[in-house]
């Protein structure tokens, strides 16, 4: 059996970016129109003005601060009070990629966010080999309904046919906080049944602009209820590059296994549009 399918980087509704984010408490109704619990991530969404579309271009980094602690004003706008920061993860035994950095950006910009792993024979973590990912944690839930979607520039090398852009939302964030006192959403499930919407895009070695409209996302899943993005209740954005998964040799039965491979992904100039 020669059929193959692409594996995605990350599992379920990843919370990789919550370590550096700010816990959010609130008492008002959420942006989706329904009542949300006190202390939920999207109790008080921040409306993003149509005149301020920028999210991140990474050029504010000083070249020295650790990416584990670096944060910046969302879109460079201090008026909103929203902060963002970077995170990366991978399939090595330490849960990280070989490289997670800010490197040369698109069209002369100083920096882009980049992950890479050049060793196909790397020692896998407990989830096995699958690829890697990176993203932006956001300190407040966003209401970006004034926009059509999110655009970004990307380049790299993906073993699978496409890479994946994931939109973290309060609607697909579990009602159970991942850490004591941490933010939680309205999905009555866990990381397996609470699945964020995703958008697949091609990757080449040339910088290319990708536009991901809300209408182009594959719906997420809130424990059996489809979640279609409309710009509201955004809590995180994430990019993943996956390996190709194939059936084991022989009759093709059994669990699909990853084909070891190197990968690279760089992202710059993230904005609403």
Q: pTM here?
A: 0.86
Beta bridge partners of 59: none
**Per-residue pLDDT tens for 218-270?**
999 999 999 999 999 999 999 999 999 998 876 666 788 899 999 999 999 99
For 187, the token pair is 């999905």
* Long-range contacts, stretch 77-83, CB < 8 angstroms, 24+ apart: 77/52, 80/46, 80/48, 80/52, 80/140, 81/46, 81/140, 82/46, 82/138, 82/139, 82/140, 82/142, 83/22, 83/138, 83/139
Distance between CA atoms of residues 246 and 5, nearest Å: 6
pLDDT class of 203 with cuts at 50, 70, 90: very high
- Mean pLDDT value of segment 57-62: 97
Q: In whole angstroms, how far apart are CA 5 and each of 2, 42, 205, 218?
A: 10, 35, 22, 17
CATH for 5-21+41-62+81-248+260-267? Answer: 2.60.120
- Mean pLDDT value of segment 9-32: 33
For 88, phi then psi, to 5°, come to: -140, 155
Contact criterion met (CB below 8 Å) for 10 and 238: yes
| pLDDT score of 101 | 98
Helices (H), 91-217: none
For the chain, domain boundaries: 5-21+41-62+81-248+260-267
**pLDDT at position 30 over 60:** no
Instruction: Tell which wins on pLDDT, 32 or 207.
Output: 207
Name residues whose C-beta falls within 8 Å of residue 45's C-beta, 6 or more positions apart in sequence.
Answer: 30, 31, 140, 141, 142, 143, 232, 233
**pLDDT at position 68 over 60:** yes
Q: Tokens 């980049």 appear where?
A: 114
**Per-residue pLDDT tens for 103-122?**
999 999 999 999 999 999 99
Contact criterion met (CB below 8 Å) for 84 and 103: no
């Amino acid at each position: 059996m020669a059929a193959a399918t692409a594996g995605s980087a990350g599992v379920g509704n990843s919370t990789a970016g919550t370590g550096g984010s700010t816990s959010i408490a609130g008492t008002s109704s959420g942006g989706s129109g329904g009542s949300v619990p006190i202390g939920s991530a999207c109790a008080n969404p921040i409306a993003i003005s149509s005149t301020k579309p920028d999210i991140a271009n990474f050029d504010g980094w000083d070249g020295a601060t650790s990416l584990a602690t670096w944060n910046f004003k969302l879109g460079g706008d201090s008026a909103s009070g929203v902060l963002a920061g970077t995170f990366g993860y991978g399939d090595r035994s330490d849960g990280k990629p070989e490289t997670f950095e800010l490197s040369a950006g698109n069209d002369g910009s100083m920096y882009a966010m980049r992950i890479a792993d050049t060793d196909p024979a790397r020692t896998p973590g407990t989830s096995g080999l699958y690829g890697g990912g990176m993203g932006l944690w956001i300190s407040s839930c966003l209401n970006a309904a004034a926009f059509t979607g999110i655009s970004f520039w990307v380049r790299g090398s993906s073993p699978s046919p496409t890479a994946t852009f994931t939109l973290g939302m309060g609607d697909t964030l579990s009602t159970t906080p991942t850490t004591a006192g941490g933010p939680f959403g309205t999905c009555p499930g866990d990381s397996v049944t609470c699945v964020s919407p995703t958008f697949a895009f091609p990757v080449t070695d040339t910088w290319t602009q990708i536009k991901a409209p809300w209408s182009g996302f594959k719906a997420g899943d809130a424990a059996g209820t489809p979640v279609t993005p409309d710009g509201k209740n955004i809590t995180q954005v994430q990019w993943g590059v996956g390996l190709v998964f194939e059936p084991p040799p022989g009759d093709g039965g059994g669990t699909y296994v990853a084909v070891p491979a190197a990968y690279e992904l760089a992202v710059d100039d993230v904005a609403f549009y």
